[in-house]
Structure 1
Amino acid sequence: METSGINPITIKAEVQAPIEKVWKFWNEPEHIKNWAFALDTWHSPHAENDLQKGGKFSTTMAAKDGSVSFDFAGVYTTVEQHQLIEYTLNDGRKVSVSFSEENGTVKISESFQPEDVNPIEMQEAGWQAILNNFKNYVEEK
C-alpha cells in the first residue's frame, strides 16, 4: 500500500493513572484483550506482544457473533520505555504512540497513516474509540 503521500491522523487521550500502569496495560496481552476493540459488539480474543525493536505483535479483533475477524499486527521499530512506541503494520503503514506523564496524568498521542479503503473520519473515529476503551479500562482497574 502506498501511504507516503497521506497525512497521518492523530488521536489523543489523557489517562488518570501512573505511567507504569499505563505502560503495563498498553503492552501486556492479558490487558490488551480487554480494551483493543472499537465497539461493544466486538472483542479481542487473542493478543501476542514482543515489545522490543524488531519484535512482533498481533491482536485479533473479532465480532462477538463470529461473523468477522482480523489480526492487527506488525513489527516494532522503536521502543523507549514509558515514552514512545513506533511500529510498522503488516500492510506497511506507520504508527507512532507517545506517552508523557504530568501530575498523575498520562497524555497519549497516537499518530497513524490511514489506509485507503475506509473514509478518514471512520478510521479516526474507530482508532479514537479504541483509545477511549483503553483509557476507561485503565481508570476502572
Structure 2
Amino acid sequence: MKNKWIRRGIRLVKSRFEHIDKESEEKLKKIEAEFPHVLSTSETLKAIIEHHITISRFGDAEFDICNQENLKDPYQRPNDKLSKRLKEILLVREDGFLACIPPFNAPNNNIKNYYGRLSFWELYWLQKYEKIGPLLSVYWG
C-alpha cells in the first residue's frame, strides 16, 4: 500500500512538469531555428582523421565558465582570465581547428525527460541561450 502512494505521489509531481508554457515553447522553437549547424560525432571524427584538425569541446560546464555561472562548481572556480580565453577559443575561425558544441537537442549524450518532457539540452538552452547565443553568432550565416 505504501509503494502505491509513493508511485502516485511521483506521478503527481512529474505531471506538474510535463507541460511548458506557450512562451517557453515559442522561445525554444526560435532557438532551435537559429541554432548553428553542428557536425555529428561521425562527421567530426571524419574531419579529424581526414584533415588532421584540432578540436576543442564545449559542453555545459565550459559555457557556464564563459559566463561565470560556475559559482558552485567544485572543480573550477570563476576566473576572469579563463572565461575570456574560452570565449576567444569559441570564436576562432581558422583552417585546421574546430570548436565542438553540443547540438540543440542531441539524440545521444542527452537526458530525455530531464525536466518533464524537456531534455537536458532543451532546458539548458531555454535557461541560458540569451547569454550563450551571442558566443555562437560567429557560426551563423
TM-score class normalised by the smaller sequence: 0.3 to 0.5
Higher strand share: 1
TM-score normalised according to structure 2 size: 0.32
Rg larger in structure:
2
Higher helix share: 2
TM-score normalised according to structure 1 size: 0.32
